[in-house]
A and B are shown apart, each in its own frame.
Chain A
């Protein structure tokens, strides 16, 4: 079984400041890792994902994440946020290439509120 823990339920941050959203996972098998963003009253869209290779993954809108296998973490960062980054962010894990169904297990989400 897999699980995902997002350590902060809410993160207030000032515009143009950096932000880091923390994600830890547990799994007995190799995993794929994802970050999704949900803007108010919308569905989720993919920010970035780690499948293999370089542990530093770059995504859309200036976000990046680093996979750390020893610490079972996949933290999301942005060096300078904008008001438009106000949203809820979800970390998710799936069980690798051989796992049935490409199913995702989500963390509880982190609400980011960017203040002017």
Chain B
């Protein structure tokens, strides 16, 4: 099993450009998450999904959109990138119950100039 994979690994954008980050999991998990990691701030939840076709806002959703059209995929979109969105983005997935372990992907490093 590949676990959780993320595409791309690294990307440079100019302010105002758009892009989509792809997360895929092969563990048949119900729940999926997008986090951003910034120095000294730990990981902060952007959006999450509790099942195919459903999404919900996390702690820092502004400037991002998500879609979960298939159970195994969770897409994170930036419509108009800003320098404040320079960060490392992590996707995670888990079974659908409280206390279940979240499994993380390797991350996508995004630089917005």
A and B, one complex? yes
Q: Judging by beta carbons under 8 Å apart, are A43 and B98 in contact? A: no
State A73–B98 Cα separation when bound (angstroms): 20
Return the contact of B99 from the options A4, A51, A105, A106 (Cβ within 8 A). A51
State A36–B43 Cα separation when bound (angstroms): 11
State A103–B107 Cα separation when bound (angstroms): 18
State A6–B40 Cα separation when bound (angstroms): 10
Chain B positions within 8 Å of A107 at CB level: 42
Chain A positions within 8 Å of B99 at CB level: 32, 49, 51, 94, 96-97, 102
What range describes how many residues of B lie at the interface? 20 to 34
Q: Judging by beta carbons under 8 Å apart, are B42 and A106 in contact? A: yes
A72: interface (CB < 8 Å): no
Nearest chain-B residue to A42 (Cβ)? B106
State A44–B106 Cα separation when bound (angstroms): 8
14 A-B pairs within 8 Å (CB atoms) are namely A4-B42, A32-B98, A36-B104, A43-B90, A43-B105, A44-B43, A44-B90, A44-B104, A46-B102, A51-B99, A94-B98, A95-B98, A104-B33, A105-B59
9 tightest A-B CB contacts, nearest first? A106-B42, A43-B104, A97-B98, A44-B104, A106-B43, A32-B99, A51-B99, A108-B42, A43-B106
